[in-house]
Amino acid sequence: MVVSIDSGRYQWQIRDNCLYFTGENYSYPLHLCLEMDSAHGGPAYGTDDLYFCTQEQKTGLHPVIEKLDDERVCFTLKEEEHFSPGSRKGNRLVMRHRPRSHPAFYVADSGDVSLEKVTVKG
């Protein structure tokens, strides 16, 4: 799987066979991807969450990760591992690289949002 990353917007590097997203005060390894269908923008049919095994995330796939150039990364899976059968060229990936810090809701780049009569149980 070859992934293009806008390095002007997202700083990244490969260390210890992990793709890290970096910033002024952080450096987090990629550990989860969700493939989005390029035609309708929702989760791609026939795909699952892609978990990558990291020091923090002990379960998942074990890809060999290679920097192709400043904008592209290649993920090659080992032996019996495989990407989802619904994966398609041209789809987008939502890449999760930060620890989950919001236990119930995540709202970003939104306006006029209200939640009423909500009970969250941990």
The predicted-structure confidence for 26-85, as pLDDT tens digits, reads as follows 898 998 899 999 998 888 999 988 888 877 777 888 899 999 999 999 999 988 898 888
- pLDDT score at 4: 96
Residue 117 has pLDDT above 80, yes or no: yes
What are the CA-CA distances from residue 109 to residues 91, 106, 112, 113, 120 (Å)? 22, 10, 11, 10, 23
Averaged pLDDT, 90-110: 79
Name which residue leads in pLDDT, 98 or 114. 114
- pLDDT score at 31: 84
> What's the residue count for the chain?
122
Q: How would residue 101 be classed by pLDDT, with cut points 50, 70 and 90?
A: low
- pLDDT score at 102: 63
Domain boundaries, the chain: 2-96
